Amino acid sequence: MDRGNAAISARYLKRRYAPVDKTLVVILCMLLMAGLLALFSATYYKAVDSGDALLEVKRQLIGVALGTVLLVIASRIPYTFWREPRVVVAGLAASFILLVLVIIPGIGVYLNGSRRWLNIAGMSFQPSEVAKIASVLYLASTLSYQVQKVEKLFTGIIPLLLIPALMFLLILEQPNLSTAGSIVIVAVLMMLIAGAKWRHLGLMGVAGLIVGSIYAWIEPYRRERLLSFRDPFAQMSDEGYQLAQSLIAIGSGGLFGRGLGQGRQKFSFLPYPESDFIFAIVGEDFGLFGCMAVICLFAAFAFAGMRIAVSCPDRYGCLLAAGLTAMIAVQAALNIAVVIGVMPTTGLPLPFFSAGGTSVSLLMASTGIILSVSRSGRG
């Protein structure tokens, strides 16, 4: 009996102190460095007015520093901790409370027609960022227990989607369709990995497209944004302006770009060059090759994260790593698709690139959890 306990303890210690996946760490560092470079290019001309051309970069570095601490802590915590019912329930409760608070007038910060931010002690953040992580923790835990139910539609998939669906509706009230949609997309991907049937998910996908089309069409501003997506240059004085300026920035970059800081669209032509449309700055400054390098980095991140998921010896760790990887990869794909005109314009930041210290720190914390899972495959 003592030998058995000793063996179990040895395996636990070996797994806990096993090295993390260094490939993912290197890719993360490269994404962060590229993001800081792009952010400097997008903001230095505005920051000069404050007397410090590196103002936005320094703010982002604070988020990166906090994220580094969270990453190290999360990578040291055994990933099974996030499976504890009290942790999952606490995460969901906090997410729903914050999502309700942010849509209350006078509490949520109203900016550019949306109420997406909360300001606590001088720090602004989007509760939807917390909700995305909480949704993954919930689904990874639930799907690891309910193995057989995921193969059924009405008694399995639909009940499991109730929590992500409630988050979707609350985030839609901000309104923030892109973030709300990304939560559902990640949830569906996790169910697919867990063994859900293609025909069930396909049926739900068709239903979602129908509902989404109706939602986009019934509101005049959403309908106009959808129509402007087809030909943004025909509506440059209205809804098509932002996408048109983004396409001009990317097109003017050519193959190799104008050079760091040499792009012109950020000079009050392209709205939000430091956040939602920072990928257009990459295209103008570094050209097609710069854009492809960034896309390859995100693809490498997704590949490394999914490799960690596949290597994990237990179902929960696999779903957790896959869900968090998908959360980051889907957000990057949606943002890039919007910037290059493949999707209608929505407000979704590019992970590790867009300005926002809270966002980058939470993304790094999520990466820390993936790294914790990577220890299990090396123990």
Contact between residue 282 and residue 265 where contact means Cβ atoms under 8 Å apart: no
Look at residue 353 in the predicted model and tell me its pLDDT.
Answer: 95
In the chain, the percentage of residues whose pLDDT exceeds 90 is: 45
Give dist(CA 58, CA 175) in Å, integer: 30
What secondary structure does DSSP assign to 357-378, as a single string? HHHHHHHHHHHHHHHHHHHHTT
Percent above pLDDT 70 for the chain: 86
Please report the pLDDT score of residue 242 as a whole number. 82
32 pLDDT higher than 90: yes
Please check the confidence at residue 233 and state whether its pLDDT lies above 90.
no
361 Cα distance to chain centroid: 12
**Pair of tokens at residue 288:** 């097609």
Mean pLDDT of the chain: 85
Both tokens assigned to 283: 């295209």
Does residue 171 contact residue 179 with C-beta atoms inside 8 Å? yes
Measure the CA–CA gap between 321 and 312, rounded to whole angstroms. 9
What is the Cα gyration radius of the chain?
21
| pLDDT tens per residue, range 170-190 | 998 887 878 888 999 999 999
For residues 162-168, average pLDDT? 92
Tokens of 355: 């300005």
Tell me the pairing of strands 123-125 and 109-111: unpaired
Is residue 60 scored above 90 in pLDDT?
Answer: yes
Q: Is the pLDDT of residue 206 over 90?
A: no
Strand partners, 111: 114
- 12 Ramachandran zone, left/alpha/beta (phi>0; psi -120 to 50): alpha
Q: What residue ranges in the chain does DSSP mark as E strands?
A: 109-111, 114-120, 123-125
The answer to whether 361 and 64 have CB atoms below 8 angstroms apart is: yes
With 90 as the cut, is the pLDDT of residue 335 above it?
A: yes
pLDDT of 5 over the 50 cut: no
Task: Write the pLDDT tens digit of every residue in 353-363.
Answer: 998 888 999 99
Among 153, 255, 146, 266, which residue's Cα sits nearest to residue 199?
153
For the chain, the structural domain boundaries read 20-376
Average pLDDT over residues 307-323: 94
Give the bridge partners for 119, in sequence order: 124
